Structure 1
Amino acid sequence: MAELLDPEAVTTALRELDGWSGDPAALTRTVQLPTFADAIAVVDRVAVVAESMDHHPDIDIRWRTLTFRCSTHSAGGVTGRDTELARRIDEIVSNQGEPRGLEDEG
């Protein structure tokens, strides 16, 4: 089983993850893509990565807004697998259109 990260390690990881927030329970990021089709394309790409890692985020889809939540349920919180998945999600999002964080909504 993956080892839980302590609060300090989670804080350190969050400094290196663009747009993510969270605590030792879970890492969360919400992005808005230009179109619904772009959002679904991101979900499709994340699904392929998640399957290859055998580690799956919770994903909430609201039109073109996606919220990702990474937590290792079997360990009861955030592990290194979650920070790696978050990095991979960042790569996917940054390569798809011009995503905006919700803070850009005005």
Structure 2
Amino acid sequence: MENDRVLLGFGEIDAQIADTAFRRDGSRLVAEYETGDFSGAVRLLDRVAEAAEEFNHHPDVRLAWGRIVFELRSHDVGGVTARDIRLAHRIERLAAG
């Protein structure tokens, strides 16, 4: 989509992520999910990896025992775009099971 590379304003970002675990942190979105154990975190990462390939937009990830952190940012434009919002919502659905 043409608007996929347009930076979103803070108000628009906050409104669009209000119902997710994501929060705005500077020029990126960050969410942490508790998974109960390491294999649960890996399973969630595997599902998110498939979605990222589908969207051709890939999060930065930190993986730990029972916890996974996703960071979203459109590096090509230096901030949050509609691509990040769409992936945030997909990650939220995948994390919910």
TM-score relative to the length of structure 2: 0.90
Equivalents in 1 of 2:30, 2:55: separation in Å?
18
Equivalents in 1 of 2:25, 2:65: separation in Å?
27
Distance 1:64 1:34, change over 3 A: same
Give 1:93's match in structure 2, choosing from 81, 92, 95. 95
Would you say 1:14 and 2:10 are equivalent positions?
no
The count of aligned residue pairs is 94
TM-score relative to the length of structure 1: 0.83
Percent identical among aligned pairs is: 31
Report the alpha carbon displacement of residue 82 of structure 1 after superposing the two structures with TM: 0.3
Equivalents in 1 of 2:17, 2:77: separation in Å?
19
Q: Structure 1 residue runs of 4+, over 6 Å off? A: none
The superposition leaves residues 18-77 of structure 1 with CA deviations (integer Å, 9 ceiling, x where unpaired) of 221114611110011022111100000100100111000011001111000011000100
Unaligned runs of 5+ in 1: 96-106
- For the aligned residue pairs, the C-alpha RMSD in angstroms reads 1.3
| 8 Å contact from structure 1 (residues 5, 24) kept in 2 | no
